[in-house]
Structure 1
């Protein structure tokens, strides 16, 4: 019998992000030098009768609502029975997207590492301890920053010179119309500047209006030798049939499933040839447990899994996965070297561009996730909090 869960605390808090602002339609952020935007994120603490606590900062608003609605079911459970808890939460949240499982599961892995005196990647089974990264850009704006094809190519050259082996474009999003010619010019400009020296990826984030637009840009990616083409158009990457047809007409491999929730739809996308690379996200896909399940399904089909965005949880997952290629260092931009998703609550951990050595990041080697959070900052900037206890 392991430690018994006695309390679950959640906090929603705000933090400032420099050089980003909401895009015109409010569908996401864009890079805007000189701007400052207040962002919201979440924190969870799981306490036990043994005094060991699991902690995690991250998640989404819908996911945290699910955490709060499910927290009572954790009380009295063995905190080391992660697989059983994962199964109970999956059944509990079956009518929802299940994103509430992620923060709970990650906090339980942190707790387990502290209980056993080991980092999470060691509990999973370490494969590597240095992670090659691709620089993943913020979306561009119309006024300054990443506002031209040349600006994207210049930033690519800059991060190449810093030693990064790969670069992914997020171009313009959140506008009423998409300028497909500018998209084509941008992926061409980047390929001409650094394509012989870096792996290149392109992610329109489901912005292209039509299959035809996605096909036109994809053909330019073929000419530029891009490594993958991610979430091209506005079906929200939901149609396996459409993406299988798109893949049949392109040489550039597709990467889908970032917009896919639950394990089984990931497996279906793989089995139906809808994607070439598989995306998994510890935050959104059932925590470290769920993300590793997706990684192993992909491995069974001979495919690679790529973990979404930079975080301690993603580092540990990648460290314990053979069939993966790059750590996503993002989202960043020329004057925005720290990912927008990194609040100022860590002691020494950071995903800033300058923290890389030859384009690679180390895996935390402390117990659990190997990070320490500033709970005073979290509580001082809180906009909502809950606590349930036994």
Structure 2
């Protein structure tokens, strides 16, 4: 599994390997408690030097105030590093009150229905190299217990192939699974996006996500597409934080709202987005995997799924094996009903394998 050199997407390439770097953010307190959060996208650490000194000496339980102050310091940068710090602060809070984060948030459910979210298409034997291969994989996921399946198609190539994969998966499992399509902002033109949208209409897809090569930013273009197709749109993954995300919804440019703990201001930010969307009568779908995301979904009524991804017939990339208390995200990490559980320990409820982490550490920074 390697990044596509031209597009950056993760694709299957047998006989090759790639290097993926993760980070662990720790926030320490003078009470002897530490909050920890695993960061998959290192860009989310980039602005921490801007505000780290401001956090020293502050009350770690005043998450709302710290959310607001770090967001203010990063104005113009979409609060890029607020989220990872906020997740660590919630971990501290749970440990302080001896409760899992989802209980502190109010709690709504303890089991989360997962959908299988695929790698991008490839050209390899045994991979996702054809519409039929996607259909085969969807059927495999159904047999494992998944109730829903999301296609990430090819990031390059003719739009006709994107349409054929929608049709092939619908024909194979469409009467037994909920289906979604995520071009991941790869479709070049409005016309091609409309054609893919029409195919999703005919196939009865649950949503179409981030179709345009605008990077998921244009309110006008998505509103126009929404007016011309029946399939609900899920947009706003790349529109970070509460205000611009809800602007998208208020402008009728999306039907579902996207939220991510690392992109959107942490657990605090995701819950703000979810409650605002609830007030508009819309659902919030949380992006990708991880303990913080599970706690959020467990506390949001207006959410449908946990995104198990990215998955592939030959395996998947879910981050390094750094948890030693049984927590895992993987294609086979669901139960017979297609669900995952929420960690029950204090805070985020997971334990990190610090021996593994220290042996592979490539850099270390301290702010005090």
TM-score, structure 2 as length reference: 0.97
Question: What's the CA shift string for 1:365-390, capped at 9, x where partnerless?
Answer: 0000000112232232222211122x
For the 8 Å contact 1:59–1:103, the answer to whether it is kept is no
Structure 1 distance, partners of 2:40, 2:18, is 18
Deviation, structure 1 residue 146: 0.4
- Comparing 64-73 with 120-129, greater Cα deviation is found at 64-73
Partner of 1:318: 297
Partner of 1:156: 138
1:166 matched to 2:144: no
Structure 1 outlier segments of 4+, above 6 Å? none
Match for residue 248 of structure 1 among 224, 227, 246: 227
For residues 99-138 of structure 1, what are the structure 2 equivalents within 5 Å? 99-138=80-119
Q: Which ranges of structure 2 fall in alignment gaps of 5 or more residues?
A: none
Partner of 1:335: 314
Structure 2 distance, partners of 1:206, 1:30, is 16
Structure 1 distance, partners of 2:363, 2:207, is 40
Structure 1 distance, partners of 2:328, 2:360, is 20
Structure 2 distance, partners of 1:149, 1:301, is 37
Question: What's the CA shift string for 1:83-129, capped at 9, x where partnerless?
Answer: 00001001111121212011100000001000100000000011000
1:50 matched to 2:28: no
Partner of 1:346: 323
Q: What value does the CA root-mean-square deviation take over the aligned residues?
A: 1.1
Structure 1 distance, partners of 2:194, 2:273, is 28
Count, aligned residues: 365
**Secondary structure of the residue that 2:166 maps to in structure 1?**
helix
**By percentage of residues, which structure has more strand?**
1
1:67 matched to 2:44: no
Structure 2 distance, partners of 1:26, 1:160, is 29
Q: Which ranges of structure 1 fall in alignment gaps of 5 or more residues?
A: 1-19
Structure 2 distance, partners of 1:80, 1:270, is 31
Structure 2 distance, partners of 1:212, 1:371, is 46
Structure 2 distance, partners of 1:81, 1:245, is 42
Structure 1 distance, partners of 2:309, 2:322, is 18
**Secondary structure of the residue that 1:44 maps to in structure 2?**
strand
Partner of 1:270: 249
- Comparing 275-284 with 23-32, greater Cα deviation is found at 23-32
